[in-house]
Structure 1
Amino acid sequence: MAKDGDTGLPPGLETAWGLRERPGKGPRPGLSVSRIVDTAVGLANAEGLPAVSMGRIASALGVSTMSLYRYVSSKEELLVLMQDAAYGLPPEGPAPEEGWRAALAHWARAMREVLYGNLWMLRVPITAPPTTPRALAWMERGLVCLRGTGLDEGEKIETILLVSGFVRSEATMTADLVSAARASGRTVEETMAAYTRLLARLADPERFPAVNEVLRAGVMTEEGAPDEEFAFGLARLLDGIEVLVAARSARGR
């Protein structure tokens, strides 16, 4: 039988939803869950997820490691809270009269901005569907974008999963490039330029004529390429969704 106050939720979710009471026994003045989480997020953004440990956070805050456990029970709970904090709340979308496509594109770009600003989030394994307050707020906003499309509820969920999966995949590629660049001491642009030069040496024109056409076009080292590639991919996704929306609209006539 559950004890009084036992929600049956993991500690991270209890804390995220404000359902977990903190022990009142001797808390350190000035220390709080939000300060611990903000410090952890700062470490992750500066040095990557492996840099985040209870010891490093305690050192940055000038407290003992054990004192943190009065506020955050484990590293797993901390990761849940870090992600929820980093997500923030989704921004308001375009006016309804601009349509579902503009709204969903705005939602996707806002999500990409969050991930680009917190690339460490892509290194946290996905172990469950969205359940924290801010993650659910993003889910809610994505579903709201699709109101009036004629899609059924299952299709709406599949649509936002498709779009968010594209955003996450594109951001993961960026995170991998950033990681490789850090390891080599070069910028992402320098890393891509070096790759292009290597490809030009290895790709024999007779064996790889199409690759050489791309190299001659210079598109792999163009400034702003990631943003243009993202816009291109997102537009193609939305084109496909638009076909489905049109079909559902025709069916409903």
Structure 2
Amino acid sequence: MQNFLTNAFRYNPEGRVLLGVRRAGHDYRIEVWDDGDGIPLARQQDIFQEFTRIERQGAEQGLGLGLAIAKGISQILSQPLGLRSWPSRGTVFSMTVDGSDASAVNANPAVAAPNRVRELEGCRVLCVDNEQDILTGMTQLLSRWGCEVRCAQDVCEAIQQISEQWQPEFVLSDYHLTNQQTGLQVLQQCQLKLRACFNGVIISADRSAETQQAVTGLGFTYLSKPVKPLKLRTLLQQRGK
């Protein structure tokens, strides 16, 4: 619901937003309405995908992770999402929740969820990318998981983030940086300073065999863009191994 509300205000900064609940048989449908521009019909099928966003003049731009995260959570909780939108009139996102007796829920408390949340608590991650929007999105995502995140845009800034007091467990770097620098140079410089006591990951849209071999040949991990949050989380859960 937080992601629905965030999007409603982001893409409708001067408009109105309404949060409400409707009965749907024995269930409840929580809805977030806005009176913005609406979502084009051709885009309604893919806005729940990672790194998909709709350009709006005058609107604050996100990285396109919010709705993808909401979809993933809804699937885990078996709470269906809904979307209705009308051009130039607005949009409504909804989530349907089970209206069963609360005592039935309390009879089987979920004890594993808190442990999963704490798995990445305090995990130190250094993100390197020459695009500030990417760094902002990664920081928001990783912070939700409890990670300690620092960011840099090139080799020099990456090294400056490392100290005796803060040493990353993971270094995530884009492959192509500014001034003809590469993510491999970032990881190699980190290796010299940290003596290989970290997990190096290259994130790139270049899926050529040569690039992947160059990364894995040096003992680092390769991830293709766009990075799926679930795949990234699974990788970070290998901390200490």
Q: TM-score, normalised by structure 2?
A: 0.32
Structure with the higher fraction of residues in helix conformation: 1
Q: Which has the higher strand share?
A: 2
Tell which structure's C-alpha radius of gyration is larger.
Answer: 1
Q: Which has the higher contact order (CA 8 A, sep 6+)?
A: 1
Task: Using structure 1 for the length normalisation, give the TM-score.
Answer: 0.31
